[in-house]
Chain A
Amino acid sequence: MSSRQSARASRLTEDEINHLIFKLHASLQHHSNSTCNKKRSAAKILKRTCNYIKKLQREVDDLSDQLSQRFASGDINAADADIITRLLQL
């Protein structure tokens, strides 16, 4: 956004960037393989991250489609209070 921010970012070394990427990977924990070795390159982690985001977004789209069919008519009024209550208890 501001030029100050981008100047600061350009001073991140490649090592620091790689470190941040590995931290991201660790925090995601979507790869349950515990033998995942750190030699996996930063580029591969980023690619996996992108694929995972796309997968989640597609899942949201698909669920939106199914939910839009389910609540097509006005019967959501009867169901929604019940749904919210049970959702919040989960």
Chain B
Amino acid sequence: MNIQPPNSSSIKSRFAVKFVQAMKRLSKRRGMGDRYKRYRATRAAARVSLAAAVGPERAWSRAVLRRIKKRRGLIGRTTTNPRRNLRGLVPGGKGMDYCSLLSETAHYITCLQAQVQVMQDMLHLSSP
């Protein structure tokens, strides 16, 4: 099993650029006056931007990007219907052998941590 920690700083910067670009597009979109719609769109943008920042090199990011291509909903599985086991929490987890699942989990968690840090920084930097 290959548990190579991802390069956090490069993921952070790639995610930051993509996410801010996505937010820019969002702010121009129609119908974004609705608070809930805006929230869902922002959340989707965050997930997509992270997967795009990682690229196709990991199974979990490929799974997220595949879902977008198929135009299937990104939201709704992990949050409205909370899974209790690892396979349900890691994107693409259900199709993996156990060894890969553990490897993907470690990478996924590190990326989530990076994502949280960037989004927190964005919030603080954008304070009026």
Which residues on A are within 8 Å of B, measured CB to CB? 1, 5-6, 8-9, 12, 17, 20-21, 23-24, 27-28, 30, 46, 49-50, 52-54, 56-61, 63-77, 79-80, 82-84, 86-88, 90
Chain B: residues with Cβ within 8 Å of the partner, total of 54
Chain A nearest Cβ from B78, distance in angstroms: 6
- What's the A-B contact tally at a CB cutoff of 8 Å? 143
B113 contacts A20, CB within 8 Å? no
Select from chain A the residue with minimum beta-carbon distance to B120: A63
The 3 closest A-B pairs by CB, nearest first: A9-B97, A68-B42, A63-B119
**Residue from B32, B47, B89, B103 in contact with A53 in the complex, judged by beta carbons closer than 8 Å:** B89
Known contacts A28-B109, A63-B123, A71-B27; is-contact A23 B85 (Cβ 8 Å): no
A68 contacts B38, CB within 8 Å? yes
Tell me the B32-72 residues at the A interface (CB within 8 Å).
32-33, 35, 38-39, 41-43, 46-47
B20 contacts A50, CB within 8 Å? no
* Complex interface: chain A residues within 8 A of B1 (CB): 20, 23
Which residues on B are within 8 Å of A, measured CB to CB? 1, 3, 5, 12-13, 16-17, 20, 23-24, 26-28, 32-33, 35, 38-39, 41-43, 46-47, 78-79, 82, 84-86, 89-90, 95-99, 102-103, 105-106, 108-109, 112-113, 115-116, 118-123, 125-126
**Residue from B78, B90, B106, B118 in contact with A87 in the complex, judged by beta carbons closer than 8 Å:** B118
